[in-house]
Structures are given as structure tokens and as C-alpha cells.
Amino acid sequence: MARDTGLLIVPSKIVIHPSPSMASNSIFLLLFSLLSLLHLHSSAAQSSVKAVYWFPDNEFPASNIDSTLFTHLFCAFADVDPTTYQVTVASQNTNAFSTFTTTVQQKNPSVKTLLSIGGGGSADIKNHFSSMASQPNSRKTFIDSAINLARSYNFHGLDLDWEYLATDTDMTNLGVLLKEWRDAVVAESSNSGKATLLLTAAFYYAPKIESLSYPIDSITTNLDWINAMAYDFYDPAWIQAGLPPKKLVLGFPFYGYAWRLVNADNHGLFAPTNGEGTGSDGVMLYKQIKQFMAQNGAATVFNASIVGGYCYAGTTWIGYDDTQSISTKVSYAKGKGLLGYFAWHVAADDNWVLSQLG
């Protein structure tokens, strides 16, 4: 997740991932292996997860969310103050965040809410996390302020969205941060008599970022689960590295990527392109893709062997996840004993057709 976007696999997946070489050359087909699962215990606090992220600047108010379709809702994003390292909420989001839980529980009193901190799309965010996690005092400030904010806004948990850790030191400090955070929420629960806050994190699609390895032991011990941002890519190595299946929640994209074909008559997989298509940087929400299909009479193709679809009209080619691919992935995750799945993001769906699957 993040303040950016992506796509997922199961059992193999068309992946359209923006890059300079792709924009100037061709549509790429990336096939991915099935997840290989190893043994391990489940998350003691949670039997299954069906979640989605929401953020306030998408012109989709929290009151519009059909919370009956989900077990958990992530409210994104709180910030880390670069000077004090306290977790804060932008002034324009204070009302929406402070009322988020009460708003979504009007339709589903049992839905759990988590405040997501950080997000992608900015080097500053990454640097703020790195600096915060490097010292005991700043970690404590971050942890204490996050817990206080969660309680004051009635969230049931906290979600760390620290993306693209840059050094081995960052990875080591992440492990320490998670341990101290777990200790703090347990102590706070004991002192307050309230249920222990959930702790989750949105991480890279694989357990390594280039040569840097996530602290698997600390993640397994201290987080209730991770949201693997398996949007554009997926690597089964999270499980192979020792993460329990019941600690893994897979990410689904409620959007796709549009590309401009060199030749409208050559519109299959691997067809040459010469740039991004319609949308913002080529990214189109699922509901926008459906609108494009209807308005342009786009032809649609679903390839069962790669569990992915695309559509085309004129020189516009769009790769995306549709109801067939999402439902297959849901069934796969359930069949393999994963904790669940989540989507980025709720406002991108088209009349809840993707959210209703599973």
C-alpha cells in the first residue's frame, strides 16, 4: 500500500509495471510461481482478514464504505513529525480520522479499524522513519504517541507503512522498533484494561529489498500480520524465509495500468508500446477502467493460464485485475491457509463488485 499503487499474483499473473524501459518498448508479461507454504502457528488474535485501505483525499468519504464487506479497515495515513518523531494527523484530516471508527461501525459494529502511519511516494517519509528508529528516545516518542493517538481516535490497531528501507541498519532498527512497540501495547493494555492494540505493517512484496533482509524473527514475534504489497510483483520467499502463512495477508490492486500501443492492430501480450496511456501516469482505478470499456467499446481478454485480464480500444491497452482474477486469488489464499487478503484502495472499486468477492 502506500501513497502509490500496484498489482498481485495467483497462481501466475500479468504484471504491468511502469518503468522507463517499458514505457518506451513493450508490454511485459511476468509469470509468477504459486506460493509455497511452510508450517507455523496462526495469529492468536485473528482467524481471518479481509481488509481494505481508505484515505481521505480521494473524494470518497468514510461514510460511503460498505464496511459489512470487510473484517478490517485501514485509515491512511498518519505522519511522523521529522523533528519530534511524534505521530500526527494533518489538520485537514483530523475530523475524518477521529470519527473514522464510529463512522464505519455504523454499518458493521464488528469491523476493526487500524491507523496506518507513513506511506510511500516520498523519500522524506522513508528518511523520517529511518531517523526515528535509530535512537531509543525517538522510538519511544513514536510508539507512545502512536498508542495515544489510536486510543483517542478509537482505533483497534496500528499499521506501520515504512517502505523501502535503505540500509542494514534500518532493518536492524526495524526489528528493535517492533519489539519495543509490542512490549508497549501489551503494557498499555494491562494498565488500561482495554484490548491489546493490533500491530501490523505493510511491507515490500518480498522479504528482501535488493540485498537487505527483513527481520523475520521480530516480524513473526511482534506483529499480528503483515500486508505484503504484492501488487506489481510477488515473491513466495516471504514464506520460504520463515514467515508463517497465518502472518501473511496478500495485497490485491483495485486498479490497472494503461499503455499506448504502437500499432492498434497489434494488441496482444508483448505488443510494443510507446508510452503511458490514459489516466494519471498510466494508472487507472478499476471503476475508471470499466467506464473506459463502456465508453469505447473495448475488447476484453481473460487468460486463465496466467489468471489475468486486459482490454484494448484503439491504441489504448490496459492490464488489470477483474472479477475472475480476484476471485481466483481469494480462493487460492483461502486454500493455502493464508491469514487473508487486502486491497488498495476502497474508492477504486466499481459498485463493490471486487470487494464482494470472497
| pLDDT at residue 59 is higher than 90 | no
Q: Domains of the chain: which residue ranges?
A: 36-254+323-348, 256-320
| pLDDT at residue 9 is higher than 90 | no
> Per residue in 298-356, pLDDT tens?
999 998 877 778 999 999 999 999 999 999 889 988 988 999 999 999 999 999 999 99
Instruction: Give the model's confidence band at 17: pLDDT under 50 very low, under 70 low, under 90 confident, else very high.
Output: very low
- 3 state DSSP class of 322: coil
Q: What's the whole-number mean pLDDT along residues 63-74? A: 98
H/E run at residue 152: helix 136-152
201 has which bridge partners? 160, 226
Q: Are strands 72-80 and 112-118 parallel, antiparallel or unpaired?
A: parallel
pLDDT at residue 57, as a whole number = 78
> Per residue in 214-253, pLDDT tens?
999 999 999 999 999 987 666 678 999 999 999 999 999 9
| pLDDT at residue 41 is higher than 90 | no
87 has which bridge partners? 80
DSSP 114: E
Q: How far apart are CA 16 and CA 33, in angstroms?
A: 17
**More confident call, 41 vs 190:** 190
Q: Which residue has the cell 495467483?
A: 10
> Per residue in 271-301, pLDDT tens?
999 999 887 789 999 999 999 999 999 999 9
74 has which bridge partners? 53, 114
| pLDDT at residue 262 is higher than 70 | yes
- Of the candidates 12, 9, 15, 11, which has an alpha carbon nearest to the alpha carbon of residue 257? 15
- The CATH H-level superfamily of 36-254+323-348 is Glycosidases (3.20.20.80)
String of b and e for 52-86 (b: at least 16 CB within 10 Å)?
bbbbbeeebebeebebebbbbbbbbbbbbeeeebb
- Hey, which residues are catalytic here? 163
What nine digits make up the cell of 182? 509490542
pTM > 0.75: yes or no: yes
pLDDT at residue 233, as a whole number = 63
**More confident call, 45 vs 41:** 45
Q: What angle do CA 211, 222, 244 make, to 5 degrees?
A: 70
Q: Which amino acid is located at 104 in the chain?
A: V
Q: What angle do CA 85, 91, 95 make, to 5 degrees?
A: 115
Instruction: Give the model's confidence band at 7: pLDDT under 50 very low, under 70 low, under 90 confident, else very high.
Output: very low
Q: Phi/psi of residue 80, each to 5°?
A: -110, 120
What are the residues whose beta carbons fall under 8 Å from the beta carbon of 318, sequence distance 6 or more? 256, 257, 258, 259, 277, 284, 289, 292, 298, 310, 311, 312
| pLDDT at residue 3 is higher than 60 | no
pLDDT at residue 12, as a whole number = 31
What nine digits make up the cell of 335? 486454500
Percent of the chain with pLDDT over 90: 74
For the chain, what is the mean pLDDT? 87
Percent of the chain with pLDDT over 70: 86
> Per residue in 109-145, pLDDT tens?
999 999 999 998 778 899 999 999 999 999 999 999 9
What nine digits make up the cell of 35? 506460493
pLDDT at residue 278, as a whole number = 81
What nine digits make up the cell of 173? 532498527
CATH 1.10.10.10 correct for 256-320: no
pLDDT at residue 127, as a whole number = 93
pLDDT at residue 6, as a whole number = 33
Written as one string, the DSSP assignment of 251-266 is EEESEEEEEEES-TT-
DSSP 280: B
